[in-house]
């Protein structure tokens, strides 16, 4: 049970942060319309890159496929949530942009073979006698 909490607590906190950010009705504008668009879309990519790494760590498998699927489902639900926020819209395009972050993380996980590194929570070692 402790292992479960160690793995999933960061995922839940990050999802809550994404949820809270997408709950804001009026997001500040960053410069020109073009700069604003790109900065917000880069934020989408960044937040879903982090979500994918955290989800992969939580799922704890060698393939990032399950973590990708769970993160993608969350991206869809986040866009549905935005449909109910005044001045916000839920767009399939944004799910595609979120997917870029998921793909980027998946490539890093596969190329760097991160399942063998620090991302997987390991049980504490028993002291040698």
pLDDT tens-digit readout, 97-124:
999 999 999 999 888 876 666 555 555 5
- Separation of first and last alpha carbons in the chain: 27
Whole-prediction pTM: 0.82
> Within a 10 A sphere around the Cβ of 50, how many other Cβ atoms?
18
26-79 pLDDT, tens digit per residue, is 766 777 888 878 888 898 999 999 999 999 999 988 788 999 999 999 999 999
pLDDT of residue 72: 96
Query: Which residues, other chains included, contact 21 with Cβ-Cβ below 8 Å and sequence gap of 6+?
Result: 47
């Amino acid at each position: 049970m402790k292992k479960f909490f160690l793995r999933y607590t960061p995922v839940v906190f990050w999802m809550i942060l994404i949820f809270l950010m997408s709950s804001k009705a009026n997001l500040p504008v960053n410069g020109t319309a073009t700069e604003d668009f790109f900065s917000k879309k880069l934020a989408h990519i960044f937040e879903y890159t982090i979500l994918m790494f955290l989800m992969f760590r939580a799922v704890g498998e060698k393939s990032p496929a399950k973590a990708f699927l769970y993160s993608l489902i969350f991206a869809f639900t986040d866009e549905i949530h935005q449909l109910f926020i005044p001045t916000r819209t839920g767009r399939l395009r944004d799910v595609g942009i979120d997917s870029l972050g998921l793909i980027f993380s998946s490539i890093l996980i596969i190329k760097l073979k991160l399942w063998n590194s620090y991302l997987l929570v390991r049980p504490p070692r028993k002291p040698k006698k």
